[in-house]
């Protein structure tokens, strides 16, 4: 009897320890599932906000005195319109294999960035649009254009993003501030404007309206985490039942 009790005690402690690990695992999996549901709600709100901004009528470009008050969470993708003269100095290009926001372009190519001077002398960088690999951007006419597009903010390079090739004026992220510094464009706005129509019209680069195409897999992820939690609980339950039968 004493030997049986001695064997049962360590066994009970090991089962209790395993039960704690299982409960913690289930709690973590459920937490991940709940987090994905929250992310789903946030993503739906973001998609709705971006869709509304992209479809809204363009507003006048805010004056230079307000530029520092603009920030991505509130102003990204706001449609704006303004008059400017695009600079004839050398442009900068951003390599791309397509766009998540435009369905009318595909394949390898570059987005062409140039500085545009407003009537008050301040400079806003504009993305003229996409040029497929092997094609060339058409020269800019030195005249005042009515431009319409979307406010965008500079991107940050990731761990595996290739370094820019400044001598070739080629970048791999949309960092217009770095372009301005490397190409002597002077002081520019903290944002750039993604044009929605080509300037001159029907010319290269090819500009176009943006559309929201954000991935929304959070519900599937949530179901996966909840299913894993259920599987862990069921497996542990079957194991406990088998131990009792012994």
pLDDT tens for 61-87 read 999 999 999 998 889 889 999 999 988
pLDDT exceeds cutoff 80 at 57? yes
185: Cβ–Cβ under 8 A, 6 or more apart, which residues? 87, 89, 115, 123, 125, 179
Q: Which of 152, 151, 148 lies closest to 196, judged by CA? A: 148
Mean pLDDT to the nearest integer, 168-178: 93
pLDDT tens for 117-164 read 999 999 999 999 998 887 777 777 667 889 999 999 998 887 888 888
Tell me how many degrees the CA angle 57-63-64 measures, rounded to the nearest 5. Answer: 135
């Amino acid at each position: 009897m004493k030997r049986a009790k001695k064997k049962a005690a360590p066994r009970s402690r090991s089962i209790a320890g395993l039960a704690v690990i299982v409960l913690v695992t289930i709690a973590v999996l459920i937490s991940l599932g709940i987090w994905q549901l929250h992310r789903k709600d946030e993503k739906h709100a973001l998609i709705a906000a971006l869709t509304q901004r992209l479809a809204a009528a363009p507003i006048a470009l805010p004056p230079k005195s307000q530029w520092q008050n603009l920030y991505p969470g509130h102003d990204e993708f706001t449609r704006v319109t303004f008059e400017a003269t695009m600079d004839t100095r050398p442009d900068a290009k951003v390599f791309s294999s397509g766009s998540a926001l435009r369905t009318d372009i595909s394949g390898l190519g570059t987005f062409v960035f140039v500085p545009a001077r407003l009537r008050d002398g301040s400079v806003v960088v504009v993305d003229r649009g996409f040029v497929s690999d092997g094609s060339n951007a058409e020269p800019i006419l030195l005249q005042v254009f009515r431009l319409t597009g979307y406010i965008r903010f500079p991107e940050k390079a990731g761990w595996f993003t290739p370094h820019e090739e400044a001598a070739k004026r080629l970048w791999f992220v949309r960092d217009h501030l770095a372009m301005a510094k490397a190409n002597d464009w002077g002081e520019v706005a903290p944002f750039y404007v993604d044009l929605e129509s080509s300037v001159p019209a029907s010319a290269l680069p090819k500009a176009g309206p943006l559309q929201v195409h954000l991935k929304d897999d959070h519900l599937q992820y949530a179901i996966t985490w909840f299913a894993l939690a259920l599987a862990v609980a069921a497996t542990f339950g079957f194991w406990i039942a088998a131990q009792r039968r012994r």
